[in-house]
Amino acid sequence: MTKYLLKRLFAGVLLVLGASAILFFAGELLPGDFASRMLGSQATPEAVEALRQSRGLDQPALTRYLMWLGGLLQGDLGVSLTNGREIGPLIATRLSNTLTLAGLAALVAVPFAVGLGTLAAMYRNTWFDRLVLMLSMVTVATPEFFFAYLAIAFFAVQLHLLPSISIVTSDMSFADKVPLLILPVLTLVVTTSAHMIRLTRASLISVMDSEYAGTAMLKGLPQWKIVLRHLLPNAMSPIAAVVVLNLADLIVGLIIVEAIFAYPGMGQLMVDSVSKQDVTVVQACGLIFAVTYIVLNMIADLLAILLNPRLRYKS
């Protein structure tokens, strides 16, 4: 088990290095010149060159990548090309907002999906089961932006129940933020729950046909007790893994949802920085998202092994 953990950790480090290289050199391929765009078409070549030197853009790309990587290892995310401010403090507040949104979405989505998938398995081949499967298939095929605009059109435009934008500030209380967070959280819950619902249902149905499940039924135990005490714990390995994997997908959906609802999180900061060609901020935000995604995938692999004795013995 220790050997497997070390191998996964080493693979994770390589993936993070690969992601950092892709993010950095992809930024180099962006069209236009930052200094020329920032100073305008009337700027002299000397002024453009002076700005490039002050931002370190006159150095070769490989040199700047190695310097950026060295700074990352020391906890330094670099400075913004636009205003010269440290990126770390700039991201701190946005990261807090993003973690709040992601945490609330996960807090709702996980019990909702596992509970609905469990009910679908308990009442399989009924109208309820078919309805859940149909809705989950529709949800899988629906992108985040489409559902977000539907939610805005219905809840904000038609019913006037909720705001269409979610601009929160640090001086707001949590109670003031709740109405602003409902639509983004609802969008994330709906678009990330479908896979969890379907796998929970499939995992439970697979263990329902086992001999010990039949023995428990012959003893006359209530169905809900059989499912909660005997079947769900044995089906937890694939369920836990897919839950964590869907939380990783939720991180990707955050970028789209934050941009649509103007939510001041990491995703919105990343979109704004792309429009300003502030490459260093885009790279820092992208790397944080990439590291989060890689870590969650590693956790999913480890949970699958820890919760399954056969896989644990094999590893």
Percent of the chain whose predicted confidence (pLDDT) is above 70? 80
The secondary structure of residue 59, as a DSSP letter, is S
The secondary structure of residue 235, as a DSSP letter, is T
pTM of the predicted protein model: 0.79
pLDDT of residue 41: 60
In the predicted structure, residue 315 carries a pLDDT above the cut 60? no
Tell me what the mean pLDDT of segment 45-68 comes to. 75
CA distance 64 to 75: 16
Structure-block tokens of residue 169:
């500030």
pLDDT of residue 53: 74
> What are the φ/ψ torsions at residue 86 (nearest 5 degrees)?
-65, 135
pLDDT of residue 31: 63
Inter-residue contact 303 to 241 (CB < 8 Å): yes
Per residue in 140-171, pLDDT tens? Answer: 888 888 889 999 999 999 988 888 888 888 78
Inter-residue contact 299 to 5 (CB < 8 Å): no
CA distance 149 to 151: 5
Sorted by where each begins, the domain ranges of the chain are: 2-73, 88-314
Write the burial class of residue 75 (CB in 10 Å: 0-12 exposed, 13-18 middle, 19+ buried).
Answer: exposed
In the predicted structure, residue 287 carries a pLDDT above the cut 60? yes
CB environment 185-197: b (16+ within 10 A), e (fewer): bbbbbbbbbbbbb
pLDDT of residue 34: 61
Least confident span in 45-59, 132-146, 161-175: 45-59
Distances (CA, A) of 45 to 23, 61, 268, 289: 29, 21, 33, 37
Inter-residue contact 114 to 242 (CB < 8 Å): no
* Cα–chain center distance at 116: 22
Average pLDDT, the chain: 80
CA distance 73 to 75: 6
The secondary structure of residue 80, as a DSSP letter, is -
Inter-residue contact 99 to 271 (CB < 8 Å): no
Yes or no: is domain 88-314 CATH 3.40.50.620?
no
**Secondary structure of residue 171 in the 3-state scheme:** coil
pLDDT of residue 112: 92
Q: Which of 84, 134, 91 is nearest to 278 (CA)?
A: 84
